[in-house]
Structure 1
Amino acid sequence: MAGTAAQALALLQRGETAPARVLIDAACARGDGEALAVRALWRVEGRLMPRDLHAARTDMHGASDAGNIGAARMLAGFLASGVGGARDWAGACALLDDWADRDPIAAQQRALIAAMAIDPAGDPVRCPPHQTIADQPVIRAITGLLTAAECDLLIALSERRQRPALIFHEGQKRFVADPVRTSDAAGFPIVSEWPAVHAINRRLAAASGTSVAQGESLQVLRYHPGQQYRAHLDAVPGLANQRSLTLLVYLNDDFDGGETHFTRLAISHRGRKGDGLLFANCLADGRPDPMSEHAGLPVRSGVKWLASRWIRQRPPENSDGFGQHEAVSTAL
């Protein structure tokens, strides 16, 4: 980061918020692409100025036109998923085309999307069948939900952003580090739900029989040898819009251990690369189902990669989506 944006960051580090905003706004008025990208992020975060996704999308347009690669990536995701304005899947793909010769991530996404069996709106034209593992709670295996290339891209996009995974602490009402979960994780919140990721989310929604808006941010989890996710429930007690379903996708299979183990059913499952595992977390009345308790068993050797999407009972009441706790500072 250089120039005006770097000066604004230095001001913020000294607690001088108002001068930083004046500096960025003035640079935005001059069409400075980096400043426009910074202001777009501020507007998404809603901390230094009111949260305004429509205005953020406008800033992304300006920054992308000025040649800012990070803004172009964010804008493509906003267009693909309809954040901050009308959904424009064709426009998102066209933006990837425009940037493919300058941005390797845009080129990778465009090639991946071209190979997908999707309709003109980006929805899958078919989904693989389910195989029943259990009926109470519902547990289904889905063979070949993602392709090997899609799994590889999710790993590549998430690898540099992996951080120690958190859990939701009911008493503190926030996400905290906890020894129950020793893996690393990287999320794809709205600023990094790029077109290829969004297309994958739409396929996960179709495979689970839900709308894409019901899903929380896609996460990619990494387990080194010895790491695990001890027995837990994905449903959160008292959550008004409950995590009714979980959909996991195994992104690789060159590791030992790491099975998904349902502790009260004595069922262990491990899919091959690209396979999905769908299971219900709630009883009919919406309360967490104790029989859905499960664990990610310790990895014995190799590195396990897993994609995870928690699916709520219904879409959020506002247009902001779920997962606002995730930092957007890694988006660029």
Structure 2
Amino acid sequence: MTGTAAQALTLLQRGETDAARALIDAACTQGESEALAMRAIWQVEGKLLPRNLPAARTGLLAAAQAGNMAAARMVGGLMAAGIGGPRDWPASLAMLDIWSDRDPIAARQRALIAAMAIDAQGDPLHLPTPEMLADQPLIQTIPGLLTPAECDLLATLSERRLRPALIFHEGQGRFVADPVRHSDAAGFPILSEWPAVHAINRRLAAASGTTVAQGETLQILRYAPGQQYRAHLDAVPGLTNQRHLTLLVYLNDDFTGGQTHFTRLRITMAPRRGDALLFTNCLPDGRPDPSSEHAGLPVLSGTKWLASRWIRQRPPENPDGFGQHEAMR
């Protein structure tokens, strides 16, 4: 980061918020791409400026047209998902086409999307046949839901953003270390749900029989040897819009250990790259189902990569999506 944006960050570090905003506003009137992108990010975050997704989308588009690669990645995702304006899948693909000769990530996404069996709106044309493991709770495997190239992309895009897994502590009002899950995690929130990621999310929704809006932020988890996810329930007591379903996709299988084990059913799923595991978390009345208790067993050797999506009973009432303290449990 250089120029005005770097100066604005320095001002923010000094606590000079008003001066930083004024500096960025002035640079935006001059069409500076980094300033346009920075202001758009502030409008998404809703901290330094009021949250305004339509304005953020407009600003990112302007920044992309001024040559900002990061803005092009972000606005392509907003177009694909219909955030801050109408959903426009063709426009998101056109953005990838424009940038493919300059941005290797855009080129990789475009090639991956070209290989997908999807319709003109990015929805899957067909899905693998699920295999039933249990009726109550419903537990299914979905062989080959993602291709090896798609698995690799998710791992690659998340690698630089991985952090130790956290949970939101309601009493302290902040994120703390997760005492149950020992792994690194990275999510794909709205500015990171780029077109290829969004197309994958639409496939996950179709495979689970839900809408894409019902899903929380897609998370990528990385487990090193000795790390695990101890026995737990995914449903959260007291949620009015419960985590009805969990969908896991194994992104690799070149490790030992790390199986998904349903502790009360004696069902154990051996990871296989690209395969998905879908299961319900709630009883018919919406309460957490104790029989859905499961664990990610310790990894013995190698590194385990997993994609995880919690799916709610219905889309969020808030058009901006599920709150971070809800989605990043």
In structure 1, give the amino acid aligned to 2:32.
D
Contact 2:258 2:271 in 1 (8 A): no
- CA offsets, 1:82-101, max 9 Å, x none? 00000000000000000001
Report what 1:58 is aligned to: 58
Kept after mapping to 2: 8 A contact 1:216/1:323? no
Q: Deviations over 1:249-288 (max 9, x none)?
A: 0000000000001111111112310000000011111111
State the TM-score, normalized to the length of structure 1: 0.96
- Match of 1:191, SS? coil
Superposition deviation, residue 171 in structure 1: 4.7
Is residue 236 of structure 2 the alignment partner of residue 261 of structure 1?
no
Which AA in structure 2 matches 1:244?
Answer: H
Matched residue SS, 2:306: strand
The answer on whether the counterparts of 1:247 and 1:308 sit within 8 Å (CA) in structure 2 is: yes
Counterpart residue number, 1:216: 216
Q: What is the deviation of 1:120?
A: 0.1
Matches within 5 A, 1:124-135: 124-135=124-135
Give yes or no for the alignment of 1:71 onto 2:71. yes
- 1:130-169 superposed matches below 5 A: 130-169=130-169
Q: Which amino acid in 1 is paired with 2:221? A: L
Contact 1:226-1:300 at 8 Å conserved across structures = yes
| Counterpart amino acid of residue 97 in structure 1 | D
**Equivalent position of 1:241 in the other structure:** 241
Residue identity opposite 2:159 in structure 1: E
Quote the residue 1:311 is aligned against.
Answer: 311
Cα deviations by residue, 1:191-238 (Å, 9 ceiling, x for unpaired): 000000000000000000000000001011000000001111111110
Offset of residue 325 of structure 1: 5.0
Report if the CA contact (8 A) 1:225-1:300 is conserved: yes
For 2:231, the aligned partner's letter is A
Shift in alpha-carbon separation, 1:199–1:184, aligned structure 2, 3 A: same
Q: 2:69 and 2:110 mapped to 1: Cα distance?
A: 15
**1:201 aligned residue:** 201
One-letter amino acid matched to 2:186: A
Structure 1 Cα separation of the partners of residues 10 and 173 of structure 2: 32
Paired with 1:252 and 1:296, the residues of 2 have a C-alpha distance of 15
Name the SS of the counterpart of 1:140 in structure 2.
strand
- Are 1:189 and 1:324, in contact at CA under 8 Å, matched by a contact in 2? no
Please say if residues 189 and 326 of structure 1, whose CA atoms lie closer than 8 Å, have aligned partners that are also in contact: no
Output the amino acid matched with 1:201: N
1:167 Cα deviation from its structure 2 partner? 2.7
Shift of residue 290 of structure 1?
Answer: 1.0
**What's the CA shift for 1:122?**
0.1
Moved over 3 A (4+): 168-175, 323-327
Using the alignment, how far apart are the partners of 2:174 and 2:284 within structure 1? Answer: 27
C-alpha separation between the residues in 2 aligned to 1:219 and 1:286? 24
Long gaps (5+) in structure 2: none
Give the aligned partner of residue 29 of structure 2: 29
Give how far 1:173 is off. Answer: 5.9
Q: How much does 1:168 deviate? A: 4.1
Aligned residues: 327
Q: Give deviations 1:93-132, integer Å, cap 9, x for gaps.
A: 0000000011000000000000000000000001111101
8 Å CA contact retained: 2:168, 2:325: no
Aligned partner of 1:99 in structure 2 is 99
1:80–1:115: structure 2 CA closer, same or farther, 3 Å change rule? Answer: same
Q: Measured at CA, do residues 288 and 170 of structure 1 come closer, stay the same or move farther in structure 2, by a change above 3 Å? A: farther
d(CA) in 2 for partners of 1:33, 1:324: 28
Query: Does structure 2 conserve the Cα–Cα contact (< 8 Å) formed by 1:132 and 1:141?
Result: yes
Contact conserved, 1:155 with 1:305, CA < 8 A, in 2? yes
Tell me the residue number matched to 1:270: 270
Q: State the percentage of identical aligned residues.
A: 75
Deviations 1:59-87 (A, max 9, x none): 00110011111100000000000000000
Judge conservation of contact 1:180–1:229 (CA < 8 Å) in 2. Answer: yes
Tell me the amino acid that sits aligned with residue 308 of structure 1.
Answer: S
User: Partners in 1 of 2:75 and 2:25 — Cα distance?
Assistant: 20
Q: Give the CA RMSD over aligned residues.
A: 1.4
| SS in structure 1 at match of 2:244 | strand
**Counterpart contact for 2:235–2:244, Cα < 8 Å:** yes
Q: Normalising by the residue count of structure 2, what TM-score does the alignment of the two structures yield? A: 0.97
**For the Cα contact (< 8 Å) 1:167–1:181, is it kept in 2?**
no
